[in-house]
C-alpha cells in the first residue's frame, strides 16, 4: 500500500488550517520568566499557562507536520522518520489500540507507514477541537492531555536520529555533510521545538514539588552534583559496552548553586562525558599504561558558569571540526552497520548517531549559553 499524501487523506479545510497555523510565529519564554511566573502556581497562573499552551502547541505541531511532509533528500520516507509521529505529540485516544494492533502485525508495515502522517495531523485536529480553556476544570483536562503527550514523546530523539542514519547509510559518500543545510536546519528546529514549556506546565501541578524547585527549574542547582550523576550514567554505558571505563574527576565547589534546569545540564554533560569516555577507552584499549581520567572543571564566574570537560582521547583532526555539529557526522561507526534490528529492539549504542553534540548545543543555547569544542589532535 503506497503512502498517501496528507491532501489525499484529510479535508482541504484541515490542510489549510495546518498551513495557516504553521506560518504563525512561535513564542519563546525565558528562564527568568518561567521562574517568576511558576514561583506562585496559583489556579489563576495555571489557567493562564494552560491558555497560552492551548494557542502555542498547535503552532509548533503544525510546523513540524508541514516539514515532516516534505523533508529534503528523501528523509521523509525513511521508516524511522515515518514512525516519529507515533511518539511526537499524539493526542488521539484511538492511537494506543492501533499501535497495539500494528505491533501484533494486524497491520502490515506499509499500511502503518501510510497511517502515521494521518495520526500526526489527527493530533493537530484534536488539539484544535479542544474547547477554549475557560476555568480550572478545563485546564486540568488539558494538563492530562499534555501528560499523555510527554509519555509518547520520549523516543522522538533516538527515533529521528535513526531515520537520519538510515538516510546517511544510503547517501553518496562523496556528499559533504556540512553542505546539507536544509537537513541540519530542519533538525535544529525540530529538536529545539521539543525543549519547550509543556513539561514546565505539567510539573507546576506537582502537589509535593522537590525543595527549591519551580516546575522543572531548580533554583539552587549544584552543577557539580549534576555532573557527578551524569558522569556515573555515562560510565555505566561505557562499562557495559567495553567492560571497563576511565575514571572521571570533577573539580569545583559542590556548595555552589545557580538556577537552571537539571535535566538539561545532565543531558549536556552526559553527552560530552560519553564522547570523552569512548575516545579514551578506544585509544588505550590495547595499552599497558595508566588510562588517564576525564576531567570536569566547574567554574563560577561573575557573568558565566562554565563547565569544562577535557580528555586525552587523541582529539579531533582539523578536517573533522567543521562537521562535529552536523547531524550526519560521527567519529564512531554507523550503528546500523552493527545492529541491523535498531528501531525494532531496545539496543542502545555507545555512539554513532551523531546527534549528541548538536543537540547539546541546542540545549545550551536555549537559555542563552553555548557549547564550544576545542581540539588538540594527538592529545
**Full strand arrangement of the beta sheet holding 305-310:** 248-251, 294-300, 305-310
State how beta strands 294-300 and 248-251 pair. Answer: parallel
Cell of 1: 500500500
Rg of the chain in Å (alpha carbons): 22
Of 119-133, 137-151, 155-169, 264-278, minimum mean pLDDT range? 155-169
Q: Which of 86-95, 145-154, 190-199, 273-282 has the highest mean pLDDT?
A: 273-282
d(CA 205, CA 122): 27
CA nearest neighbour of 155 among 206, 81, 226: 81
Q: Can you tell me the distance from the alpha carbon of 371 to that of 363, in angstroms, rounded to the nearest whole number? A: 9
Name the percent of the chain lying above pLDDT 90. Answer: 32
Residue 120: what pLDDT? 57
DSSP 10: S
Q: What's the pLDDT at 340?
A: 45
Which residue matches cell numbers 559533504?
176
Query: How far apart are the two ends of the chain, measured CA to CA in Å?
Result: 54
DSSP β-bridge partners for residue 100: none
Q: How far apart are CA 129 and CA 134, in angstroms?
A: 14
Q: Please give the C-alpha separations between residue 298 and each of 20, 213, 249, 303, 310, in angstroms, as whole numbers.
A: 46, 22, 11, 14, 12
What pairs with residue 310 in β-bridges? 295
| Torsion region of 245: left, alpha or beta (phi above 0 gives left; psi -120 to 50 gives alpha) | beta
Q: What crossing angle do the helices spanning 31-38 and 43-69 adopt, rounded to 10°?
A: 140
> Of 94-98, 257-261, 329-333, 372-376, where does mean pLDDT reach its minimum?
94-98
Rounded average pLDDT over 16-31: 84
The pLDDT-based confidence of 30 (bands split at 50, 70, 90) is: confident
**What per-residue confidence (pLDDT) applies to 279?**
94
Query: How far, in Å, CA of 6 to CA of 22, rounded?
Result: 15
Question: Which of helix, strand or coil describes residue 209?
Answer: coil
Lowest mean pLDDT: which of 154-158, 283-287, 329-333?
329-333
Stated length of the chain: 379
Q: Check residue 336 and give its pLDDT.
A: 46
Q: How is residue 21 written as a grid cell?
A: 497555523
Residue ranges of domains in the chain: 12-91+108-207, 217-366
For the chain, the average pLDDT equals: 76
pTM to 2 decimals?
0.74
Question: Environment class of residue 340 by beta-carbon count within 10 Å: exposed (0-12), middle (13-18) or buried (19+)?
Answer: exposed
CB 129 within 8 A of CB 66: no
Continuous segment of H or E residues that includes residue 101: helix 95-103
Q: Say how many C-beta atoms besides its own lie within 10 A of residue 49's C-beta.
A: 27
The tens digit of pLDDT for each residue in 252-311 reads 999 999 999 999 999 999 999 999 999 999 999 988 889 999 999 999 999 999 999 999
Q: Are 149 and 194 in contact (CB under 8 A)?
A: no
pLDDT of 75 over the 50 cut? yes
- List, for residues 157-186, the tens digit of each pLDDT value: 666 677 777 777 766 666 655 556 777 787
Domain 217-366 has CATH 3.40.250.10: no
Contacts of 237 (CB under 8 A, 6+ apart): 274, 348, 350
Alpha-carbon gap, residue 127 to 56, rounded angstroms: 11
Decide yes or no: CATH 1.20.140.20 for domain 12-91+108-207: yes
Beta bridge partners of 296: 250, 309
Amino acid at each position: 500500500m503506497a503512502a498517501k499524501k496528507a491532501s489525499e487523506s484529510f479535508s482541504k479545510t484541515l490542510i489549510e488550517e495546518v498551513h495557516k497555523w504553521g506560518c504563525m510565529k512561535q513564542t519563546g519564554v525565558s528562564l527568568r520568566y518561567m521562574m517568576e511566573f511558576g514561583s506562585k502556581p496559583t489556579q489563576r497562573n495555571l489557567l493562564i499557562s494552560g491558555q497560552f499552551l492551548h494557542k502555542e502547541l498547535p503552532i509548533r505541531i503544525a510546523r513540524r507536520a508541514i516539514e515532516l511532509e516534505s523533508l529534503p533528500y528523501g528523509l521523509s520516507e525513511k521508516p524511522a522518520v515515518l514512525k516519529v509521529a507515533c511518539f511526537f505529540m499524539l493526542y488521539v485516544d484511538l492511537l494506543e489500540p492501533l499501535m497495539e494492533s500494528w505491533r501484533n502485525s494486524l497491520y502490515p508495515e506499509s499500511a502503518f507507514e501510510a497511517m502515521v502522517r494521518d495520526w500526526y495531523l489527527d493530533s493537530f485536529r484534536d488539539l484544535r477541537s479542544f474547547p477554549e480553556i475557560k476555568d480550572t476544570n478545563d485546564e486540568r483536562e488539558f494538563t492530562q492531555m499534555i501528560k499523555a503527550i510527554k509519555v509518547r514523546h520520549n523516543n522522538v530523539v533516538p527515533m529521528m536520529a535513526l531515520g537520519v542514519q538510515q538516510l546517511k547509510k544510503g547517501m553518496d559518500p562523496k556528499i559533504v555533510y556540512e553542505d546539507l543545510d536544509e537537513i541540519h536546519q530542519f533538525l535544529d528546529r525540530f529538536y529545539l521545538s521539543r525543549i519547550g514549556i509543556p513539561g514546565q506546565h505539567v510539573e507546576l501541578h506537582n502537589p509535593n514539588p522537590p525543595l527549591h524547585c519551580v516546575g522543572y527549574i531548580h533554583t539552587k542547582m549544584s552543577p557539580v552534583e549534576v555532573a557527578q550523576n551524569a558522569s556515573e550514567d555515562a560510565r555505566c554505558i561505557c562499562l557495559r559496552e567495553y567492560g571497563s571505563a576511565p575514571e572521571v574527576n570533577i573539580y569545583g565547589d559542590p556548595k555552589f548553586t545557580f538556577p537552571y534546569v537539571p535535566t538539561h545540564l545532565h543531558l549536556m554533560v552526559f553527552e560530552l562525558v560519553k564522547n570523552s569516555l569512548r575516545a579514551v577507552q578506544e585509544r588505550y584499549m590495547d595499552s599497558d599504561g595508566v588510562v588517564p581520567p576525564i576531567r570536569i572543571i566547574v567554574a563560577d564566574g561573575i557573568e558565566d558558569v562554565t563547565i569544562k570537560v577535557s580528555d586525552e582521547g587523541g582529539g579531533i583532526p582539523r578536517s573533522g571540526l567543521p562537521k562535529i555539529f552536523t547531524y550526519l557526522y560521527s567519529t564512531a561507526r554507523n550503528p546500523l552497520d552493527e545492529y541491523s534490528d535498531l528501531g525494532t529492539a531496545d539496543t542502545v549504542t555507545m555512539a554513532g548517531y551523531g546527534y549528541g553534540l548538536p543537540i547539546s548545543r541546542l540545549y545550551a543555547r536555549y537559555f542563552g549559553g553555548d557549547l564550544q569544542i576545542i581540539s588538540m589532535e594527538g592529545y
